[in-house]
Amino acid sequence: MDSVGQADQAARDDQALTADFAELDTNQVRQDLRAIARRQVPGPAGPKAGGGSRGASGALAPGQSRYNANNVSHPPLSSTQSPSSEADSAVRQGRRERRFAQRAVLWTITTLPRVRKCGRTTNGGVGDGLAAIVVNGSVAHWSGFCTCGSIWACPVCSAKIRANRADEIARAAAKHLADGGTAWMVTLTARHKKHHELEPLFDAVANGWRKLLSGRAWAGDPKRGVLGERDRLGVRGNIRSLEVTYGTRNGWHPHLHVLLLLNEETTEELAYAMHRWDKTWRAWLKKAGFEPSKEHGITWSKVTTPEEAGEYIAKAQEGKVGNEIARGDMKAGRLGTLAPFEMLEYFRQTGDMAVVPIWQEYEKGTFRRRAITWSRGLRAELLGDEEELTDEELAAEEIGGETWALLPAESLRAIRRVPGLQSRILDTAENGGFVELVNLLTAYHLLYEIGPDAPASEKTTEGVGEVFTER
């Protein structure tokens, strides 16, 4: 571009920048301000909502923050914690049973070789062709199996990865809030039609996000001393999660969950940002061939606890499972909007093959796509030099413990043939101890070798099933 062209471009950018503010609809801003006032009420003890005459930054001064440094050092929320009661333990076992069962049906329909091996093929870790039952306190687990590390496709690995990510993000958010910053949960969605394929929708959402965080309205013009939104809000960074649900009426529904961390939030600047984001997002999606609906588009909600921030980014995609579902409900559009693992659960319960092509498109559309992303430098700034594990590393991580039993390939194959047995073996070890575990293995005629750490007094128990000794 020649210098005249550059000048023209600069003039157009200037116009566009001015236009962003000139076009600001005062009614819209008033609405936004009211909405902000409503959202920032943290509870009975928090600052009062509304108060039209407050200064722009009045309600949001760091001094009024409810957060304190105590939040920074809360214990990890890891799913591998010992359950505190029998009820907790039953809930945890129920979740594990469902995830194992979902993974078992996934083996039959997945297009991903690693997923097909997850929890099924041994990795040699405890001996060639062997898997072990390892007990750590009140929690038992399998050792020696391959893990796929897929946050998108695998219900077992995903739960483990997401629990860890939620904990990381909660600790990062706690640090930011303790530093006096504020945080917002911003959801960006696109309208979708049944015929839209997943990949272009994902691309439109990802590119739209880049669009929001670029250009002069965002970055300003340092040469001319113009501050952008980034500086005026004191944006520290963001953590975002790409998500997708499937509507049985409307098809794929991708969205972004963004945790936006601010250091110099004022009500007025926020209102400007909300307005500009909304306008830019809509314009971009329209250009890309998708449109946000009035009620979808962008929503903002203020973070009140660090845990909430962690859940919002890392756990929202997990979905809830519970309702009774009947075969055919999916095609008939009666299932509403499903998180991917809810779709898998429907498949598990009904065997409805209508799920298969949709699930496979989901695997293809999410393959190698980053689910959770931190803006550059933010992780180190908030979590220091804490080591960052990959999804694969998190999924493969084992808590260790006492090896109670080792099972050869022949037994593992037999276990796979009995629905639910892979998780029931762990439940039995947890609830009934070594003796019950041995009874169960014996009842199913499973060969096993007593592990080196099996409870000593019980190693000598008479008639403990069919012990195999060949390694």
Instruction: Kindly list the residues in this chain that would bind Zn ion in the complex (CB under 5 A).
Output: 118, 148, 154, 156-157
* 305 three-class SS: coil
The C-alpha atoms of residue 401 and residue 455 are separated, in whole angstroms, by 12
As a dihedral over the C-alpha atoms of residue 241, residue 274, residue 58, residue 239, rounded to 10 degrees, the angle is 10
Helix (H) / strand (E) element for 276: namely helix 267-287
For Zn ion, the closer of residues 71 and 164 by Cβ is: 164
Cα angle 363, 367, 368 (rounded to 5 degrees) comes to 165
Question: Which tokens in the block code for residue 200?
Answer: 């272009």
**Smallest gap from residue 152 Cβ to Zn ion (A):** 10
For Zn ion, the closer of residues 37 and 415 by Cβ is: 415
**Smallest gap from residue 150 Cβ to Zn ion (A):** 6
The C-alpha atoms of residue 448 and residue 407 are separated, in whole angstroms, by 5
For Zn ion, the closer of residues 107 and 468 by Cβ is: 107
Q: What is the DSSP string of 406-452?
A: EE-HHHHHHHHHSTTHHHHHHHHHHHHHHHHHHHHHHHTT--BEE-T
**Smallest gap from residue 95 Cβ to Zn ion (A):** 15
**Smallest gap from residue 155 Cβ to Zn ion (A):** 8
Backbone angles phi, psi at 265, to 5 degrees: -70, 135
Give the residue among 304, 68, 67, 314 at the shortest CA–CA distance from 168. 314
* 152 three-class SS: coil
For Zn ion, the closer of residues 198 and 396 by Cβ is: 396
For Zn ion, the closer of residues 117 and 327 by Cβ is: 117
**Smallest gap from residue 119 Cβ to Zn ion (A):** 6
CA–CA distances in Å: residue 85 to residues 89, 185, 410: 6, 33, 35
**Smallest gap from residue 149 Cβ to Zn ion (A):** 6
Which residues are CB-neighbours of 460 under 8 A, at least 6 positions away? none
For Zn ion, the closer of residues 150 and 182 by Cβ is: 150
For Zn ion, the closer of residues 235 and 415 by Cβ is: 415
Cα angle 466, 470, 471 (rounded to 5 degrees) comes to 125
For Zn ion, the closer of residues 118 and 464 by Cβ is: 118
**Smallest gap from residue 393 Cβ to Zn ion (A):** 13
The C-alpha atoms of residue 122 and residue 415 are separated, in whole angstroms, by 14
Report CA torsion sign: 252, 253, 254, 257: negative
**Smallest gap from residue 154 Cβ to Zn ion (A):** 3
Q: Alpha helix locations (H) across 288-397? A: 306-314, 340-350, 355-366, 378-383, 391-396
**Smallest gap from residue 147 Cβ to Zn ion (A):** 5
Strand partners, 136: 139
For Zn ion, the closer of residues 20 and 345 by Cβ is: 345
